[in-house]
Amino acid sequence: NSVVGGNQLFFNNLEIRVLVAESISPFIFYDTGSVFLDGSGSLRRSTGIGVRYLSPVGPIGVYLGAPIDRSFSEDPLRLEFQLGSRF
């Protein structure tokens, strides 16, 4: 009977990017955020590295992140892929 998800979202992302070629952009990041149910819960933090290829059809990214305050059941690293922009 546990709840997954919530009705409120907070997300903050800080990135430091460098354009090393016309279409390649590596970066480091720090993320803070969480999903809350009626305002209860705590923020989670992570940091990592990534690279984006600025393709003609939109950005394609690969990220390797690590939770700062990870729980026992979480993996120490997480690999993600992204197609397109979050905005």
Q: Are 42 and 15 in contact (CB under 8 A)?
A: no
Q: Are 30 and 47 in contact (CB under 8 A)?
A: yes
Per-residue pLDDT for the chain (87 aa), expressed as one digit of tens each? Answer: 666 788 888 999 999 999 999 999 999 999 999 888 887 778 999 999 999 999 998 999 999 999 998 888 889 999 999 998 765
The DSSP code for 19 is -
Q: Which two tokens stand for residue 87?
A: 């905005």
Contacts 24+ apart (CB under 8 A), 7-16: 7/36, 7/37, 7/38, 8/35, 8/36, 8/37, 8/38, 8/39, 9/33, 9/34, 9/35, 9/36, 10/34, 10/36, 10/43
Instruction: Note the pLDDT tens digit of each residue in 24-45.
Output: 999 999 999 988 888 777 899 9
How much is the pLDDT for 65?
96
Q: What is the separation of C-alpha 60 from the centre of its chain, rounded to a whole number of angstroms?
A: 14
